[in-house]
Structure 1
Amino acid sequence: MRATTWGSPTSPARRRLLLCGAALASVLAPAIASVAQAADYPSVTSERLAKAASDDGWLMYRRDYASDGYAPFDNINTGNVARLKVVFDYTSDLKTGHEAAPIVNGNMMFVTTPKNRLIALDATTGKLIWKYEHDLSKVGLKTVCCDVVNRGVALYEDKVYMATLDNHVVALDAKTGKVQWQEKLNAPDVGYAMTLAPLIVKGKVVVGVSGGEYGARGFVEALDAGTGKMAWKTYTIPAPNEPGGDTWPKGAYKTGGGAAWLTGTYDPETDTLLWGVGNPGPWLATLRPGDNLYTDSVIAMNPADGKVKWHYQYTPNDTWDYDGTNETVVTDINYQGKPYKAVVSASRNGWFYAIDRTNGKLIYAEKFAHATSVAGFKDGKPYTDNDLRPTVDKEVFTCPSFLGGKNWWPISISPQTHMAYVPTLHSCMTMKGGTVNYKAGLPFLGESFKVVHDPDNKNWGAVQAIDLDTGKQVWNYESALPWSDGTLATAGGLVFSGSADGYFMAFDAKTGKVLWKSEQLSSGIIGVPTTYRVDDKQYVAIWAGWGGGVPIWGGDMVPDVMDIPVGGHLYVFALE
């Protein structure tokens, strides 16, 4: 692998990236190509999923039901990580964001690309086993936000499951790539899309939809893993006759947003699904007075029927697009001498939350980024600064920007250090209200905005470690460019994450010291890193492939990100 010389601000890569928000139409034909003989495929039973934390593979999006992004492997460790080398790679010809987590079972890796291509590879050599291309040729995808990405698959028994941009869930034979069933959830081009990796719980495929920027009423849906038939469907915006329905003006729930576009978490101990819910619609809050449940919240659901047990709202009556879809990570903490069963999350609004997962009560909240609009907490609930709420007559300056103190990129936690590892953005914004009318398939915002530099920090990004028992920062690694990648923690005392300028890095989990840095890869990194073992050899995998929301919405803030080459390249590392 050789270092890449990236082009000038007028390079073709820059021009392509400027157009990526508009160039959403796909002209893919469905294709399944059986290229190599699939290896013996161990069935992914419910028992294996329950014990995924100790499996040699990487069986689900965040490895296990706790969503902690931690692997108990120490083959690669602080003493030998400097010997990491690329052992195989795979190139995608697509020029948009590559965000998926490589999923591994036995000797097979499953990885998705933008525009719903699913690739099965030999996990040790990279040899292609089969490839599936979902047919998007009849779909305009004009309401997909932000970028035509996919974040990965779920595995169950002998099937692999993918959610698609045109609102289908597809089940394929894991060994051959042949479609077993395909179920349509909603019509595309009216605000709905799916970009998340599904979650398998008790024989059900659980997914959520995108579309908050288009006023699409969000929902989480569970399908039977064997047949694809709907088991239950829970709307994230309650109707007037449902609990929380009185937090909306009359009729507003129908266009209330609340997309559920990131993979949730399952807590077997309390038999609870935990799912993050996104921003309300329209963005301008003066048009929808009230708390607007369950937007900007984590909701706890019964996995048998989808009924909501409890909720916690991170940002009431959100008018800054602070969302609430960030990962929900299950862990136990000891706060001020008292033990808690917690769910933790680094919210876009700039606060790190620990919530009691048995009842939804706040344990603590601490700032991890510059946060002004969510001003503090009273009786366990957040309150906001009214002076920082935009109206049609008032422009405000607030922090963080709508890109968040952290965007969708997942945190990881380590039971060794009892720390959370948080990718962080340093940005603020100006925002002003405007007029808006709802029309299906068109943006439903009512605000104009501009992302600007955080005046309190000279850099645009960071990776930081947070003590889970206190919410306080332990170490911090600053980055001149935005940090736009998730983190992976391992028993080797390491934290892996990738930079916008194309370097995959290993940090000392205790101190934050950079112990290894790859040669410059072909593109910036926004993929979710994973690790796995085959025949007791540990591998680490990551997509390089710049794109996603930062260059589309925040490219003006850091001109350098517009010069990052695009195009997907999967890299798999191991010790030489």
Structure 2
Amino acid sequence: MNDIATNDSATMKPRMSFKGMALPCTAALVLMAAGCKAPSDDASPSTEPTAANERVENTDWPRHGYNAAEQRFSPLAQIQQNNVHELGLAWTHSLQDYRGLEATPIVVDGRMYLTGNWSRVYAFDAATGERLWSHDPEVPGEWARKGCCDVVNRGVAVWQGQVFVATFDGRLLALDAEDGTVLWEVDTIDRQRPYTITGAPRVVRGNVIIGNGGAEFGVRGYITAYDAMTGELAWRFYTVPAAPDGPFEHPELEAAAKTWSEDGAWRETGGGGTAWDSMAYDPELNLLYVGTGNGHPHARHLRSPGGGDNLYLSSILALDADTGRMAWHYQTTPADSWDYTATQSIILADLHIDGKPRQVLMQAPKNGFFYVLDRASGELLSAEKYATATWASHVDLSTGRPVETGQGEYSEQDRLVYPSELGGHNWHSMAFSPQTGLAYIPALEIPWVYSPTDFYLFDLNVPHLDELRRGQPDVDHGGYLRAWDPVRQKLAWEVRLPALINGGVLATAGDLVFQGSQDGYLHVYSATDGTRLHSIFTGVGIIAAPITYAINGTQYIAVLAGYGGATHFMLSPSAAAHEYQNDGRILVFRLGGEAVPLPPKRAAKTVEAAVNPPTMTPDIQRGQEIYLRNCGFCHGMSGTTPLLPDLSRVRVMGYDAFRLIVMEGVLATRGMASFSDVLSEEDLENLYQAIAAGAHNTPGTADIP
């Protein structure tokens, strides 16, 4: 353990029981376009690859982003523009999950490994769909209350016969790839704080790398490396200081502390800056790139009232993969006040810029700007808007800093700002094709009303919305698939989608781009011009990213279908979940496949809604406020349609049953934890009155696409 791993508050309890650790290599390369090598999954120093932009010399999908550069581009080309219309179902398997499915499956040597809700792990025969084993880490149901964005998981890492998964309640497990047996387990968090993990681990040079989430609830962010064979802590990098005067677990924090106020809410809440998703790795430079998140509170005038950039919030960090020491950082949104995280996809590529070859890092974070950086030095090469962004006019290339317009300053008055807290691009995976030179972004166009006194969901229920809209750009709100040229820094093409939130992206050597959508389709586009070539209706909204792999000469496309995640409290009018059950499943396609069997129709409501509008009393109005603060993000607000129960049965079940659920936690094992620690008996009565009167989820003044 080196000096960065000091002052560790997490409990280390490795359990080791090793079996044969190596799986045989796959068959020889088939169906691939001509190309070079790629980052290997063998993370020992003697076998590390030499170029982060190289391709994987097999037909698997061995890493989260396919290769260490996280490009999500596969050289498989059996499925092409002239035959993609023949794509049909090869096999499917229900995961018995009815919430969000976000995982990227990993395929190694003919086996597929993936995760569902509650961090459950599944192994399948990737050709036939036979389930080989599953493992339930038994995440406590009441932990659901600690997460901002559903009990999701984005997948596993596979290396030398082990499957690594991080659980929603903060543990890291190594499973035997053959049968799912637990080899070791460590607790990565302080269990007294509201930490969660939804991201996929990565394996780099024999270490398993994992971050965490929880900035919305007040934690201190960090990213940790554990020895893949033993679970021993290798190093830890804290992303924000503990206090202005330390302790400083590593030197980078002493510099960061100078950018935070002496006082402010951050000292009580931990500051945030969690590293909850994106990573990439350059083996030639031996640099691990990590994206960090927002601060807590979001508003900088509360978090750090004395000013400062608040390093290393909303930043890209380049860390030495062996020691965790920082080589460089770039902060995309200094003193972030809008939840503009830099945790979105980080992609490495080799580009020709100004006639010169450059080794670059690309990111389209939430703040609406597409960044191209030199990945060795962190030098900013370019930054242009890929989505509407009114908080800043441009990024000054001489300083690397955004030039704020003042439109985003909401310390004293409400402001309507683009992008929203969901960003111009959220966690849904971006892809890059070295064939077309384009990055493919699941983009969003919607504003948010930020307020010093109230909380608004997007621009819903804002009494003075017309006033706030004056002088704003004319924007077609909704979801988009955008192809972005990172060299010319301009839009190449775009497709407007029916719903706001849609799936991640896959690009292939067949000049194809695959993306699922909230309305239940898997779409296939031309990578060069965005022409829609084929669509397959699945009946289930898709937010995960597809992958591709080949077995015995057949190329497959696989994607998890199941809507949820950060927006599980609402459904677009076009969402498949309005009509069909949100039956989470893995769908695998091939040329000449069958039609997709649709899930059962969604049952009609058995309880009529309360009379609307309700008669507002002080108690009901107070109950409405309690609902918005504690319940709305799961059960719907501002007229949105939730995936979880919409509480229409509360009037029928009665107060006593309602109290057992909310205060006694009788449904805790299903994710509905007790709220007795935050609600008084009077609060509960007011809440019940509001829900029973139908005042809890009244329609807003604007529409969600």
TM over 0.5: yes
- How far 1:364 moved relative to its partner? 0.4
Name the CA shift for 1:326/1:40 in 2 (closer, same or farther; >3 Å): closer
**For the Cα contact (< 8 Å) 2:415–2:449, is it kept in 1?**
yes
After superposition, where does 1:85-484 map in structure 2 within 5 Å?
85-137=88-140, 139-188=142-191, 190-239=193-242, 240=244, 242-250=254-262, 252=266, 255-287=270-302, 288=304, 289-378=307-396, 379=398, 380-391=400-411, 393-434=412-453, 448-452=455-459, 456-484=474-502
Q: Which residue of 2 aligns with 1:521?
A: 538
Distance in 1 between residues matched to 2:233 and 2:583, nearest whole Å = 36
Equivalent position SS for 1:298: strand
CA distance in 2, matches of 1:320, 1:374: 12
Which amino acid letter does the alignment assign opposite residue 173 of structure 1?
A: D
**Residue 540 (1) aligns with residue 547 (2):** no
Distance 2:327 2:99 in 1: 38
Aligned residues: 521
Structure 1 match to 2:32? none
Cross-structure match for 1:78: 81
Taking the aligned partners of 1:452 and 1:80, their CA distance within structure 2 comes to 44
Give the AA of the match of 1:137. Answer: P
Q: 1:389 to 1:173 in 2, by over 3 A?
A: same
Give the letter for the 1:46 counterpart: A
Contact 2:97 2:585 in 1 (8 A): no
Distance 1:346 1:420 in 2: 9
> Could you tell me the percent identity over the aligned residues?
35
SS in 1 for 2:255: coil
Whole-Å separation in 1 of the counterparts to 2:434 and 2:70:
13
Q: CA deviation at 1:139?
A: 4.8
Give the residue type in structure 1 aligned to 2:284.
E
CA distance in structure 1 between the aligned counterparts of 2:157 and 2:55, rounded to whole angstroms = 12
For residue 515 of structure 2, the aligned residue among 497, 510, 513 is: 497
Q: Give the AA of the match of 1:388.
A: G
Q: Note closer, same or farther for the CA distance 1:546–1:49 as it changes in structure 2 (3 Å cut).
A: farther
Deviation at 1:349, TM superposition (A): 0.8
Which consecutive unaligned segments of at least 5 residues does structure 1 have?
Answer: 1-38, 435-446
**Higher share in strand:** 1
> Which 5+ residue runs of structure 2 have no aligned equivalent?
1-21, 27-40, 249-253, 461-471, 593-705
- Deviation, 1:271, is 1.0
Partners in 2 of 1:161 and 1:466 — Cα distance? Answer: 33
Partners of 2:48 and 2:205 within 8 A in 1:
no
Letter in 1 for 2:106: I
Whose relative contact order is higher, 1 or 2, with alpha carbons under 8 Å and at least 6 apart?
A: 1
For the residues of structure 1 that align with 2:539 and 2:191, how far apart are their CA atoms? 33
Q: Is the 1:431–1:450 Cα contact (8 Å) retained in structure 2?
A: no
| Offset from partner CA, 1:163-185 (integer Å, 9 cap, x none) | 01111000000011100000001
Q: Are the aligned partners of 2:100 and 2:117 in contact in 1 as well (CA < 8 Å)?
A: yes
Residues 241-263 of structure 1, C-alpha deviation per residue, up to 9 Å, x if partnerless?
52221111126366110010004
Give, in whole Å, the separation in 2 of the partners of 1:413 and 1:110: 24
Does the CA contact (< 8 Å) of 1:236 and 1:295 recur in 2?
yes
Aligned residue for 1:566?
582
Distance in 2 between residues matched to 1:354 and 1:460, nearest whole Å: 26
- 8 Å contact kept, 2:69–2:282: yes
Which residue of 2 is the match for residue 14 of structure 1?
none
Measure, in 1, the Cα distance between the counterparts of 2:301 and 2:255: 22
Structure 1 residue 295, shift from structure 2 partner:
0.6
Cα offset, 1:53, TM superposition: 2.5
Instruction: State how far apart, in whole Å, the 1-side matches of 2:101 and 2:134 are.
Output: 16
Q: For the Cα contact (< 8 Å) 2:204–2:321, is it kept in 1? A: yes
1:117 Cα offset (Å): 0.8
Q: Which amino acid aligns with 2:546?
A: P
For 1:180, what is the secondary structure of its paired residue?
strand
TM-score between the two structures when normalised by the length of structure 2: 0.71
Secondary structure in 2 matching 1:110: strand
Query: Is contact 2:384-2:395 (8 Å) kept?
Result: no
TM-score by length of 1: 0.87
